[in-house]
C-alpha cells in the first residue's frame, strides 16, 4: 500500500486492517482516537478502547517537520530508523523501551504501548519532582544498548551490517548543524535571549580553545561508529514515573560515539541544575535540596553506567574465551584496557554534554527549563552559568578525574 497520511478519521480503518491490532482491540466500535499534540516532527494519536480502557499510541512521520509545516521538508523515512532502533533497544533492554505492537515502513508509522500514566521527564524535573530510580534505569538502558550494539559484543560482520543499515544522513545532518556548528558562530538560525551579555556569547563563539574543542567533538561525532546511539537522548525523550522509565523517539539513531548519548543525559541534567537556581515551582531550601538531588543523580548515572558497562564487558570476554586475553597477568591487563576505554568515554561524555548545553543556550532549539522563564534577566543569569560550566567542561574534558570533580565545578559556579 502506498504511503498515506492518516487522519483522526482514517486511523481506525487502518488499524482494523492489521492482524496484530484486531487481536489487541476486541471491539473496534468502542475505540476513541485523539490526536495528542506533543509531536514536534510527527503526528501522534492515542487510540483507546472506552470499555476496557486499553490504549495504544500511533506515531506517523510526515515528509516534513510537523511543527514548521510543509515548507521544511524532512524525509518520512526517518521512521525507518526509529522503528529499527526501537526494535533493537527493545531487544537489548526490554524494561525501558515501550512495547511495539505494529509498525509499517511503507506508512512510516509505529503503534506502541501507551505510557499515559508516565510523564515526559523534563516537565517533571521542571516541577521539581524526584525520581529515585531514574539513575538506575537510564544507566541500564545506556549500558545495554551501547555495549550490545558495539564491536565489543557483536561479531564484526553483524556490527558492519548494522552500521550500514543505520547510515542516517538527514537526521545526522541536523545534529551536525544544530548541535555542533551554528550555535558557535554568527548564524541566522541562532536565537539569543536579549538580556544575555555579548561576553557570554563570545565565550562560546570567539574563544579559540572552545572553537577547537567543538570542532574536535563534531569530527568525533561524524567519524566514530562505536555503537547504535539513540541520538537525541535528552530528558524530553524520556518518560518517567516513580517506578518506571522509558526511552522513546529514537529517530536520530545512528552508529556514533557512545559518549554522545551519555553526554546528552548528563548535559541536560546540568541545565536543569542551573535552571533551578531561580524561577521554579520550588524555591529556597527546597531548591537547594532539589539541585542536590540532580547532582547526585548525575553522579549515580555515571558510576552505574561505567560499572554496568564494565561488568557486561568482562562477562562477555569470560564467555568468549578466545585466547587473546590468555597469558600471565591477562586478567589485570584486560581490566586496565577496559578502564582506559571508559576513561576516554568519560572525556567524550563531558565534551558532548558541553555541546548539548551551549547549543541550547545560543542555538535554535531551547529547553523549557530556562527558556520558559519570563524574567529575561533571571534567564540570562542561568544561561551564563550554563555557558561557564560548559566551556570549562569542553576545554578541560580530558582533565577531570571523576564525575565528583565535575559536580564540584558546577557547585563553584552555583553554590
Find the shortest distance in angstroms from Cβ 176 to a second copy. 6
Q: Segment near a second copy (CB under 8 A), from 56-64, 74-82, 160-168, 279-287?
A: 160-168
- The CB-of-355 to a second copy minimum distance in angstroms stands at 13
CB of 219 to a second copy, least distance (A): 7
Tell me: does residue 167 bind a second copy (CB under 8 A): yes
Interactions with a second copy, residue window 232-291 (CB under 8 A): none
Q: Does 193 bind a second copy (CB under 8 A)?
A: no
Closer residue to a second copy, CB minimum distance, 226 or 268? 226
The answer to the question of residue 189 lying near a second copy (CB under 8 A) is: no
Contact string (CB under 8 A) for a second copy, positions 129-158, x = contact: ----------------------x----xx-
Q: Which stretch, 33-41, 68-76, 99-107, 178-186, contacts a second copy (CB under 8 A)?
A: 178-186
- Measure CA of the first residue to CA of the last residue in the chain; give whole Å: 59
Give the whole-angstrom CA distance, residue 27 versus residue 411: 56
Q: In angstroms, give the least distance from the CB of 319 to a second copy.
A: 17
Residues 101-130 contacting a second copy, CB under 8 A = none
Q: Which of 38, 117, 186, 285 binds a second copy (CB under 8 A)?
A: 186
Question: Which residue, among 286, 369, 289, 372, has the nearest Cα to 120 in the 3D structure?
Answer: 369
How far, in Å, CA of 103 to CA of 83, rounded? 7
CB atoms within 10 A of CB 126: 21
Nearer Cβ to a second copy (236/259): 259
Select from 67-75, 110-118, 231-239, 318-326 the region that touches a second copy (CB under 8 A). 318-326
CB distance 140 to 260 below 8 Å: no
- Please give the residues from 202 up to 231 whose contact with a second copy meets the rule CB under 8 A: 205-206, 208, 211-212, 215-216, 219, 222-226
* Choice from 13, 23, 70, 324 touching a second copy (CB under 8 A): 324
Distances 286 to 122, 129, 274, 283, 337 between C-alpha atoms, Å: 18, 11, 14, 6, 43
Does position 332 interact with a second copy (CB under 8 A)? The reply is yes
Q: Applying CB under 8 A, which of residues 19, 37, 284, 323 lies at the interface with a second copy?
A: 323
Q: Contact 377/249 with Cβ under 8 angstroms?
A: no
Piece of the chain touching a second copy by CB under 8 A; list 34-42, 125-133, 165-173, 389-397: 165-173
Alpha-carbon distance 398 to 254, whole Å?
25
Give CA–CA dist 171/318, Å, rounded.
38
> Can residue 333 be called a binding residue for a second copy (CB under 8 A)?
yes
- CA–CA separation, 259 and 313 (whole Å): 17
Question: What is the total count of residues that contact a second copy (CB under 8 A)?
Answer: 45
Residue 35 main-chain phi, psi, to 5 deg: -80, 130
In 3D space, the residue among 401, 361, 83 whose CA is nearest the CA of residue 200 turns out to be: 361
Site for a second copy in 340-399 (CB under 8 A): 340-341
- 69 burial (CB, 10 Å; 0-12 / 13-18 / 19+) is exposed
How far is CA 288 from its chain centroid? 26
Going by C-alpha positions, the residue among 113, 90, 97 that lies closest to residue 20 is: 113
Quote the least distance from Cβ 341 to a second copy, whole Å.
8
Kindly tell me the burial class for residue 261, based on how many C-beta atoms sit within 10 Å of its own C-beta (0-12, 13-18, 19 or more): buried
321 is a contact residue toward a second copy (CB under 8 A): no
* Helix ranges, 102-196 (H): 121-126, 134-148, 156-165, 169-178
Enumerate binding residues for a second copy (CB under 8 A).
Answer: 151, 156-157, 159-161, 163-164, 167, 169, 172-173, 176, 181, 184-187, 205-206, 208, 211-212, 215-216, 219, 222-226, 323-330, 332-333, 336-337, 340-341
Amino acid at each position: 500500500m502506498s504511503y498515506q497520511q492518516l487522519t483522526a478519521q482514517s486511523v481506525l480503518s487502518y488499524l482494523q486492517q492489521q492482524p496484530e491490532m484486531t487481536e489487541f482491540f476486541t471491539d473496534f466500535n468502542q475505540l476513541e482516537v485523539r490526536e495528542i499534540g506533543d509531536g514536534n516532527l510527527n503526528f501522534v494519536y492515542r487510540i483507546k478502547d472506552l470499555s476496557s480502557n486499553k490504549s495504544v499510541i500511533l506515531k506517523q512521520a510526515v515528509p516534513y517537520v510537523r511543527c514548521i509545516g510543509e515548507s521544511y521538508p524532512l524525509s518520512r523515512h526517518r521512521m525507518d530508523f526509529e522503528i529499527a532502533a526501537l526494535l533493537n533497544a527493545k531487544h537489548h533492554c526490554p524494561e525501558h523501551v515501550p512495547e511495539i505492537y505494529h509498525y509499517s515502513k511503507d506508512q512510516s508509522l509505529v503503534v506502541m504501548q501507551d505510557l499515559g500514566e508516565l510523564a515526559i521527564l523534563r516537565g517533571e524535573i521542571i516541577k521539581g519532582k524526584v525520581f529515585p530510580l531514574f539513575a538506575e534505569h537510564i544507566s541500564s538502558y545506556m549500558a545495554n544498548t551501547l555495549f550490545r550494539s558495539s564491536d565489543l559484543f557483536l561479531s564484526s560482520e553483524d556490527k558492519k551490517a548494522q552500521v550500514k543499515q543505520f547510515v542516517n544522513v538527514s537526521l545526522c545532518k541536523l545534529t551536525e548543524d544544530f548541535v555542533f556548528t551554528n550555535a558557535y558562530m554568527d548564524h541566522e538560525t541562532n536565537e539569543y535571549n536579549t538580556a544575555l551579555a555579548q561576553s557570554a556569547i563570545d565565550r562560546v563563539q570567539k574563544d579559540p580553545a572552545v572553537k577547537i574543542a567543538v570542532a574536535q567533538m563534531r569530527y568525533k561525532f561524524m567519524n566514530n561508529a562505536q555503537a547504535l546511539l539513540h541520538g537525541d537522548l535528552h530528558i524530553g525523550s524520556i518518560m518517567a514515573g516513580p517506578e518506571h522509565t522509558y526511552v522513546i523517539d529514537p529517530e536520530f539513531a545512528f552508529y556514533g560515539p557512545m559518549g554522545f548519548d551519555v553526554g546528552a543525559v548528563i548535559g541536560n541534567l546540568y541545565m536543569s541544575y542551573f535552571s533551578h537556581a531561580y524561577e521554579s515551582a520550588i524555591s529556597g531550601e527546597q531548591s537547594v535540596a532539589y539541585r542536590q538531588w540532580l547532582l547526585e543523580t548525575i553522579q549515580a548515572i555515571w558510576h552505574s553506567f561505567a560499572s554496568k558497562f564494565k561488568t557486561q564487558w568482562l562477562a562477555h570476554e569470560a564467555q568468549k574465551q578466545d585466547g587473546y586475553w590468555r597469558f600471565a597477568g591477562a586478567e589485570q591487563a584486560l581490566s586496565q584496557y577496559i578502564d582506559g576505554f571508559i576513561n576516554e568515554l568519560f572525556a567524550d561524555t563531558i565534551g558532548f554534554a558541553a555541546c548539548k548545553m551551549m547549543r541550547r543556550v545560543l542555538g535554535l532549539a531551547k529547553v523549557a527549563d530556562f527558556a520558559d522563564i519570563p524574567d529575561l534577566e533571571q534567564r540570562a543569569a542561568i544561561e551564563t552559568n550554563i555557558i561557564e560550566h560548559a566551556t570549562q567542561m569542553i576545554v578541560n574534558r580530558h582533565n577531570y578525574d571523576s564525575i565528583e570533580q565535575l559536580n564540584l565545578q558546577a557547585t563553584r559556579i552555583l553554590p
